[in-house]
Amino acid sequence: MNRLEIKKTYKLYIGGKFPRSESGRYLPARSAKGEHLDNYAHASRKDFRDAVVAARVGTTSWGKATAYNRGQILYRAAEMLQNRASELLAEITRSTRVAPAKARREVALAIDRLVYFAGWTDKYAQVFGSVNPVASSHFNFTTPEATGVVVVLTPDEPSLLALVSLVSPVILSGNTAVVVASEKFPLPAATFAEILATSDLPGGVVNILTGKRAELVSHIATHMDVNAIVDGTGDTTLSAQLQAGVAANLKRYANYAGTDWFSPAAEDPYRILDTIEFKTAWHPIGI
């Protein structure tokens, strides 16, 4: 007897938990051929606001963690990703219909990229900070610090690798992230959220929303508790809306359209600078 297949319903990931959308809306996840795979939550404006609140709360513990500890936690997330590599491979191949060899390469690079950026947590301050010469009897230090809550909009493809490549340099410095996942292929991101939930990453550090980008963009651009936006969508219309909003309230904005996420360019450590602030301190010599 044939049994009815139960479609999985993926939820949002906010504050370390998996709430349903407050709107009660869900969307069908379809393959590149139009097949109905599963269902996923359709995030609303209220869900976005809730995610920003969770991210702001998350900055407290994450920002106070030592750089070494943040590196350990990100490395642990890479371990968990590796443990579920076969599941991610299946999500990518059934969603996008890319060749299994390319999907395996995407998963492997996502793991390696998370490890790579985990190694920067206790190094970026030394590389990008400085001891400044001054014409007085003072020490003068410039150090990089996290800017706060960062919204990350990911491209549709590669849905997993681009997400990891965009989020990792954001959170390694102590920022927290609200991620708007691939609209076309959301299932790898939803599975990645489940991986993060079983890692040591504190709740609220990464929050993942799925659904329609266009419904959230105006609220992302104008939300006063968002400190920066990282835009990897490559959508010129959405990018224009975001830039118009950040011009009004002086958010940081970084656009990564056209990036080859499979290339070494996606590992550029200077991307860390897009979501940090530089603070300069003076200290009298001899005190």
Q: Is residue 268 part of a domain?
A: yes
Is this structure's pTM higher than 0.85? yes
In this structure, are residues 19 and 11 in contact, taking their beta carbons and an 8 Å threshold? Answer: yes
- Please name which of 65, 275, 255 lies closest in space to residue 169, comparing C-alpha atoms: 275
Q: Is residue 191 part of a domain?
A: yes
For the chain, how many structural domains are there in total? 1
- Please name which of 244, 243, 245, 263 lies closest in space to residue 254, comparing C-alpha atoms: 243
Reduce the DSSP state of residue 185 to 3 states and report it: coil
What are 223-275's pLDDT values in tens digits?
999 999 999 999 999 999 999 988 888 889 999 998 999 999 999 999 999 99
Query: What is the extent of the structural domain holding 268?
Result: 9-284
What are 89-107's pLDDT values in tens digits?
999 999 888 889 999 999 9
Least confident piece of the model among 1-5, 93-97, 139-143, 222-226: 1-5
Q: What was the pLDDT predicted at 287?
A: 60
Q: Is residue 130 part of a domain?
A: yes
Q: Is residue 39 part of a domain?
A: yes
What are 37-68's pLDDT values in tens digits?
999 999 999 999 999 999 999 999 999 999 99
Q: Is residue 1 part of a domain?
A: no
In this structure, are residues 207 and 55 in contact, taking their beta carbons and an 8 Å threshold? Answer: yes
Q: Is residue 2 part of a domain?
A: no
Q: Is residue 188 part of a domain?
A: yes
We report the CATH number of the domain holding residue 117 as 3.40.605.10
Whether a cis peptide bond, with omega within 30° of 0, leads into 158 is yes
